[in-house]
């Protein structure tokens, strides 16, 4: 089925470790997004890519980096994981920048000890 | 983004239409109305969006009043799997920011 695929689904890290969350969409969407969702906090935008070749900071970019590898793929990297980054991470996409996200991945549940 | 107001909860019988209202009286001319839902412990799910005209897709219909100050999301034949919190937002321009308010907790009952 068409959609947004995130890997991994679950991950446990130790403080200071690094990892990359992968996201791919097969709908030929121009724009892609990374969010985190914490209990009682709603969705918070980490980084976004309005189109291939561009990335910008969202509301909570500190401690993260992103790469828009091509039109399909948008990865999120934690360089030195901290317990405060324990969260559920969602990748999303939209056909164009002017529209809010229309497809979401199933999420990555990340725990940092 | 314009402020939206939704009832905190609603019940619907399985198989019946669920009509979820949203008030956005301060919406501006270029703001779209979007509907999302989130089932407990799952990720957000986009449902539908519209600007002026009524819209329909495989999941739902969106009815926007002529003055655009309110809208109704219609799930034509609600199932137990439609039990979720439904969020209405009014937003324009670019940006991935999604600020969900309290939403409406829809309970579909057998």
Tens-digit pLDDT profile for residues B86-106: 999 999 877 788 888 889 999
Cross-strand bridge partners of residue B33: B50, B90
Position A59 pLDDT exceeds 70: yes
Q: How would residue B36 be classed by pLDDT, with cut points 50, 70 and 90?
A: very high
Backbone φ and ψ of A85, nearest 5°: -90, 5
Q: Does A19 touch chain B (CB under 8 A)?
A: no
What burial class does residue B74 get, using C-beta atoms within 10 Å of its C-beta: 0-12 exposed, 13-18 middle, 19+ buried? Answer: middle
| Residue labelled with tokens 């412990």 | B41
Res B37 pLDDT > 70: yes
Q: What pLDDT is stored for residue A61 in this prediction?
A: 96
Half-sphere exposure of A99 (CA within 13 A, CB side): 18
Q: Tokens for B55, please give them.
A: 């819209």
Q: What is the mean pLDDT of residues A52-56?
A: 93
Q: What pLDDT is attached to residue B70?
A: 96
Residue B98: per-residue pLDDT: 86
**Mean pLDDT value across residues A75-80:** 96
pLDDT average, residue stretch A91-106:
92
Percent of chain B at pLDDT above 90?
79
Percent of chain A exceeding pLDDT 90 equals 88
Judged against a pLDDT cut of 90, whether residue A98 lies above it is answered with: no
- Please name which of B81, B83, B99 lies closest in space to residue A35, comparing C-alpha atoms: B99
Please check whether residue A21 touches B, CB under 8 A: no
Q: Give the containing element (helix H, strand E) for B23.
A: strand B18-23
User: Which residues from chain A sit within 8 angstroms of residue B57, using beta carbons?
Assistant: none
Per-residue exposure over A34-68, b if at least 16 CB sit within 10 Å of its own CB, e if not: bbbbeeeeebbbbbbbbeeeebeebebbeebebeb
Average of per-residue pLDDT values in chain A: 94
The whole-number average pLDDT for the span A96-112 is 92
CB B85 within 8 A of CB B7: no
What pLDDT, on the 0 to 100 scale, is given for residue A40? 78
What pLDDT band is residue B13 in, cutting at 50, 70 and 90? very high
Using an 8 Å CB-CB cutoff, list chain A residues near B37: none
What tokens appear for B107 in the block? 């309970």
At A83, list the tokens: 């317990």
Contacting A with CB below 8 Å, chain B residues are 32, 34, 42-46, 49, 89, 91, 93-100
Query: A43 Cβ partners below 8 Å, 6+ apart?
Result: A35, A36, A37, A90, B44, B98, B99, B100
Output the pLDDT for position A1.
56
Strands (E) in A8-63, as ranges, are: 10-13, 19-25, 31-38, 42-49, 56-57
Nearest CA-CA distance, residue A5 and chain B, Å = 13
User: CA B108, CA B78: separation in Å to the nearest integer?
Assistant: 7
Task: Give residue A80's pLDDT.
Answer: 96
Residue A15 pLDDT: 97
């Amino acid at each position: 089925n068409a959609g947004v695929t995130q890997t991994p689904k679950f991950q446990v890290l130790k403080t200071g470790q690094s990892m990359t969350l992968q996201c791919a969409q097969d709908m030929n969407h121009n724009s892609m997004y990374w969010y985190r969702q914490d209990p009682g906090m709603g969705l918070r935008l980490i980084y976004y890519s309005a189109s291939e070749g561009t990335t910008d900071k969202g509301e909570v970019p500190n401690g993260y980096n992103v790469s828009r590898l091509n039109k399909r793929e948008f990865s999120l990297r934690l360089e030195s994981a901290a317990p405060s980054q324990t969260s559920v991470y969602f990748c999303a996409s939209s056909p164009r920048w002017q529209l809010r996200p229309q497809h979401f991945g199933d999420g990555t549940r990340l725990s940092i000890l | 983004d314009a402020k939206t107001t939704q009832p905190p909860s609603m019940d619907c019988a399985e198989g019946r239409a669920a009509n979820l209202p949203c008030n956005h009286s301060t919406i501006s001319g270029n703001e779209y109305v979007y509907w999302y839902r989130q089932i407990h412990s799952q990720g957000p799910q986009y449902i539908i969006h519209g600007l002026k005209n009524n819209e329909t897709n495989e999941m739902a219909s969106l009815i926007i009043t002529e003055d655009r100050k309110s809208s109704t999301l219609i799930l034509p034949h609600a199932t137990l799997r439609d039990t979720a919190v439904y969020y209405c937002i009014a937003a324009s321009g670019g940006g991935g920011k999604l600020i969900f308010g309290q939403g409406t907790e829809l309970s579909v009952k057998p």
